[in-house]
């Protein structure tokens, strides 16, 4: 027996059983083998892509789209799911998390098989097209139980990437205060002190933290280099203007694309003519060799470890001091949750 065709709006779509019944689709038709049962009370006519060997953001987004028709009034995607929707960089394993669905307390947290429910007091939510989701700042806080401090810094930097600004420092500080003493609060405060604006990738953040943790001063982020005529030569991912040393992370496309490779050569030659060193990090570069190269270049251009100290970070979350010029901004003691510095971080100073 041939199946009856689905009405417009249900072909190549994710939909709820209740919406289908309201549209006149019979329960028998909803049991058809051509419909995927994605969640209890939900169906999909969208074909599944080929099986993936590991979790991916695309797969996580697909699961959220499949659940979206089940969202009731006042419900929204939160925590890890909101972070996925905002495009924050996450460890791969978190893309396998079930959808996080929240509502406003005192309503009960949603309880649907294959999801994680939450109930929040006075949640901050936004609507983006067909999506209702937690605010970027609150979504970042919701990652605290799942991420390390460095991973939280990378996700926090992404809130302020140069090509987009998803929130403000003040809103992020307020979100941390709302988070209170829940699990991960200490990590949030530690990460907040290390978040910087105008980065462009999680790799930049990873290397910035590795460099600082190794005992070097904090580098400038996305530092522009101009020639004597005012023409832009390059924008370094990280840089030490005082010691004319730049650092760039090169993705695989730099070597695979002939035009990009030729551009990189011209750029490198221009940097050298300007008297700068350019340390280039490849995907397979080891941390030890890059830090050795960095130390050699900084010393060659005048940096000395016995210069006035600056506070740095270590893996235990406590502040320690290591040699570096005092011209660089200090990363002081980690602010407390109710500190006024949380909402108003000290202004950054750029070397001329």
Owning domain of residue 30 = 1-48
Domain assignment present for 140? yes
- 3-state SS string over the chain? CCCCCCCCCCCCCEEEHHHHHHCCCCHHHHCCCCCEEEECCEEECCCCCCCCCCCCHHHHHHHHHHHHHHCCCCCEECHHHHHHHHCCCCCHHHHHCCCEEEEECCCCCCCCCCCEEEEECCCCEEEECCEEEECHHHHHHCCCCCCCHHHHHHHHHHCCCCCCCCCCHHHHHHHHHHHCCCCCHHHHHHHHCCCCCCCCCHHHHHHHHHHHHCCCCCCEEEEEEECCCCCEEEEEEEEEHHHCEEEEECCCHHHHCHHHHHHHHHHHHHHHHCCCEEEEECCCCCHHHHHHHHHHHHHHCCCCCCCCEEEEECCCCCEEEEECCCCCCCCCCCCCCCCHHHHCCCCCCCCC
Domain assignment present for 337? no
Residue 4 pLDDT > 90: no
Residue 323 pLDDT > 80: no
Q: Which of 192, 217, 239 lies at the terminal end of a domain, its last residue?
A: 192
Distance CA 71, CA 139 (A): 18
Domain assignment present for 342? no
Cβ 39 vs Cβ 113: under 8 Å: yes
Domain assignment present for 260? yes
From residue 156, how far is each of 101, 136, 264 by CA, in Å? 22, 9, 29
Pair of tokens at residue 108: 């009960």
Domain assignment present for 16? yes
Same domain, 129 and 19: no
Same domain, 226 and 243: yes
- The whole-number pLDDT of residue 50 equals 84
Domain assignment present for 345? no
Asked whether the whole model's pTM tops 0.95, one would answer: no
Same domain, 103 and 178: yes
Tokens 């001091």, located at residue:
321
- The whole-number pLDDT of residue 161 equals 93
Same domain, 5 and 22: yes
Residue 168 pLDDT > 90: yes
Same domain, 39 and 77: no
Listed residue (176, 159, 160, 142) closest to 334, CA to CA: 176
Q: How many domains does the chain have?
A: 3
Same domain, 260 and 151: no
Listed residue (145, 51, 139) closest to 89, CA to CA: 139
Same domain, 215 and 314: yes
Residue 338 pLDDT > 50: no
Q: Band of the pLDDT at 1, cuts 50, 70, 90? A: low
- The whole-number pLDDT of residue 326 equals 32
Residue 336 pLDDT > 60: no
Q: Which of 139, 161, 192 lies at the terminal end of a domain, its last residue?
A: 192
- The whole-number pLDDT of residue 214 equals 95
Domain assignment present for 230? yes
Ranges 232-236, 244-248, 339-343: which has the least confidence: 339-343
Same domain, 226 and 153: no
* HSE of 156, CA atoms in CB hemisphere, 13 A: 28
Q: Which of 124, 159, 192 lies at the terminal end of a domain, its last residue?
A: 192
* CATH number of the domain to which 302 belongs: 3.40.960
- The whole-number pLDDT of residue 265 equals 86
Same domain, 90 and 44: no
Same domain, 160 and 71: yes
Domain assignment present for 131? yes
Residue 352 pLDDT > 50: no
- The whole-number pLDDT of residue 351 equals 37
pLDDT tens-digit map of 51-76: 777 789 999 999 999 999 999 999 99
pLDDT tens-digit map of 106-128: 999 999 999 999 999 989 999 99
Same domain, 135 and 33: no
Same domain, 83 and 129: yes
- The whole-number pLDDT of residue 55 equals 87
From residue 266, how far is each of 33, 272, 275, 276, 294 by CA, in Å? 58, 10, 15, 14, 22
């Amino acid at each position: 027996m041939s199946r009856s065709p689905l009405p417009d709006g249900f072909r190549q779509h994710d939909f709820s059983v209740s919406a289908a019944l309201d549209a006149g689709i019979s329960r028998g038709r909803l049991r058809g083998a051509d419909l995927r049962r994605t969640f209890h009370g939900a169906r999909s006519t969208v074909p599944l892509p080929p099986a993936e060997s590991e979790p991916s953001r695309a797969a996580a987004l697909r699961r959220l789209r499949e659940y979206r028709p089940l969202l009731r009034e006042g419900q929204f995607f939160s925590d890890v799911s909101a972070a996925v929707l905002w495009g924050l960089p996450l460890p791969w394993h978190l893309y396998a998390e079930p959808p996080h669905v929240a509502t406003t307390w005192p309503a009960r947290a949603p309880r649907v098989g294959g999801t994680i429910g939450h109930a929040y007091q006075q949640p901050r939510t936004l609507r983006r097209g067909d999506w209702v989701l937690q605010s970027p700042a609150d979504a970042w806080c919701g990652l605290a139980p799942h991420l390390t401090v460095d991973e939280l810094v990378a996700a926090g930097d992404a809130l302020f990437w140069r090509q987009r600004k998803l929130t403000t420092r003040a809103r992020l500080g307020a979100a941390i205060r709302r988070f209170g003493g829940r699990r991960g609060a200490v990590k949030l405060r530690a990460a907040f002190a290390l978040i910087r604006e105008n980065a462009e990738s999680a790799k930049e953040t990873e290397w910035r933290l590795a460099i600082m943790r190794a005992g070097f001063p904090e580098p400038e982020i996305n530092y522009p280099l101009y020639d004597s005529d005012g023409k832009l030569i390059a924008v370094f991912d990280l840089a030490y203007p005082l010691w004319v040393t730049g650092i760039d992370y090169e993705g695989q496309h730099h070597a695979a694309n002939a035009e990009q490779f030729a551009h990189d050569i011209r750029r490198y030659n221009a940097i050298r003519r300007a008297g700068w060193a350019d340390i280039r990090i490849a995907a397979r570069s080891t941390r030890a060799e890059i830090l050795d190269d960095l130390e050699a270049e900084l010393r060659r251009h005048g940096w000395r470890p016995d210069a006035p100290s600056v506070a740095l970070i270590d893996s235990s979350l406590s502040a320690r001091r290591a040699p570096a010029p005092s011209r660089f901004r200090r990363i002081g003691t980690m602010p407390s949750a109710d500190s006024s510095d949380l909402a108003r971080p000290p202004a950054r100073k750029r070397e001329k």
